[in-house]
Amino acid sequence: MKFVCSKEIILTEIIYAMSFTSQKNALSITSNVFLQAKGSSLSIKATDLKVGFSTEIPVEVFEEGKTLVSCTKFLEILRSLPDGDVEFISSNGIFAIKPVSQSIDFKLRTITTDEFPALEKGEGLTYFPIAQKAFTEMIDQTHFSAAEDDSRQFLNGVFLERTKGGLTMVATDGRRLSIVERTFTDEMDQFNPIIIPTKFLTELRRLASGEGTLSLSVTDKLLFSIVGNRVFYTTLIKGDYPNYRRVIPESQRFHVTMRIHDMLDALRRVSLLVENKAKRVYLDISEEGTLLTSDENESGEAKEIIACQYEGPESRISLNYTYLLTPLKVMDGEYFTLNFTEPTRALTVVPEGERDYLHLIMPMQQNP
């Protein structure tokens, strides 16, 4: 195999491919990237058996062929090269990398492509388009609330449901919940609710430009997506997702409105002296303002009061500060409202205006 292409073009695709390889075991065949030169293009494929990635880029092919090389080493080499065209030659178990008109020469050992796992092709499937900006905004508002431990695998993903008006996306770890219910006027295929691994959605978010459309196709076990010239897929998570609507309060008695920027800055400062694993902070809410306090510890204590609009009794809420900080970072508008009925029951965090998303936080038990 022999081909020449621009370093910039192949580097971009190898960066994306890297996220779809398995890097826990450098000796695993899935830690490698598959390259095949044919006609006037180079096919690039990567998989960790749960997710897969494939794309094609234009190259000048002098000799067709295919090979398998370490994705990590290949990426490191490409990043180190000067800009411009690079010549690639695979022969006798060696993959040579040589920038054109440069005295630089790398050689990587290759392995046979025979054992590389076949990627799901998604051929014959029906895809439906969806606006990139709208879909990536849904990911931004939800993915961080998914669980990170493996005790309940079905919570490690993001729930996606086709509704009459569009799509609903939900993520929860049992202590917080984020939901977006977005209306789409475009025609979409009907599909049963699915649970998508968070990794897949974060990679889709990274691949998407935010302009134009992307395409989705849902099967019983897999989700495929096409973004530009890139095709990737994931194995869906099995399990029954909890009834998320049951935990969202229909109405709440008290409402405290604050500036998003004020709360973000206060949380960042007060959290500097939060040392407990629970990341606990206290919100003392009154008509005079909201007081943020860290737990007193060996390092000291932090307090800050911010302005708010509130009518009701003085209330103390204890919560994990990251559960409030994270959604506020991606929330639209200037103000948000924290709604509650009792300080020990579910809180909802909603942005100003008519938005299609909200975040729910379960408060912590307060220290006696």
> Helix count (H) and strand count (E) of the chain?
6, 26
Q: Per residue in 209-222, pLDDT tens? A: 889 999 999 999 99
Does residue 366 belong to any structural domain of this protein?
Answer: no
Q: Per residue in 293-305, pLDDT tens? A: 998 777 889 999 9
Instruction: Reply yes or no on whether the pLDDT at 187 is more than 90.
Output: no
In a shared domain, residues 62 and 97: yes
Which of helix, strand or coil describes residue 72?
helix
Domain limit, last residue, from 71, 93, 115: 115
Mean of pLDDT over the chain: 94
d(CA 53, CA 71): 13
How many structural domains is the chain composed of? Answer: 3
Does residue 255 belong to any structural domain of this protein?
Answer: yes
Q: What is the pTM of this model?
A: 0.91
**Which pLDDT score, from 0 to 100, does residue 252 have?**
96
Does residue 121 belong to any structural domain of this protein?
Answer: no
Does residue 331 belong to any structural domain of this protein?
Answer: yes
Q: Per residue in 62-117, pLDDT tens? A: 999 999 999 999 999 999 999 999 999 999 999 999 999 999 999 999 999 998 99
- Percent of the chain surpassing pLDDT 70: 99
Q: Per residue in 223-256, pLDDT tens? A: 999 999 999 999 999 999 999 999 999 999 999 9
Instruction: Reply yes or no on whether the pLDDT at 368 is more than 60.
Output: no
In a shared domain, residues 232 and 265: no
In a shared domain, residues 100 and 138: no
**Which pLDDT score, from 0 to 100, does residue 352 have?**
94
**Which pLDDT score, from 0 to 100, does residue 2 have?**
97
CATH code at position 159: 3.10.150.10
In a shared domain, residues 24 and 88: yes
- Burial letters for 324-346: b for 16+ Cβ neighbours within 10 Å, e otherwise? bbbbbebbeeebbbbbbeebeeb
- Across the beta sheet with 41-47, the strand order is 65-70, 32-38, 41-47, 51-58, 230-235, 222-227, 213-218, 128-131
In a shared domain, residues 295 and 225: no
Our measurement of the distance from residue 146's CA atom to the centroid of its chain's CA atoms, rounded to an integer in Å, reads 10
Structural domain for 308, as ranges: 249-361
Compute CA distances 242 → 3, 159, 247, 354, 356, whole Å: 51, 10, 10, 27, 21
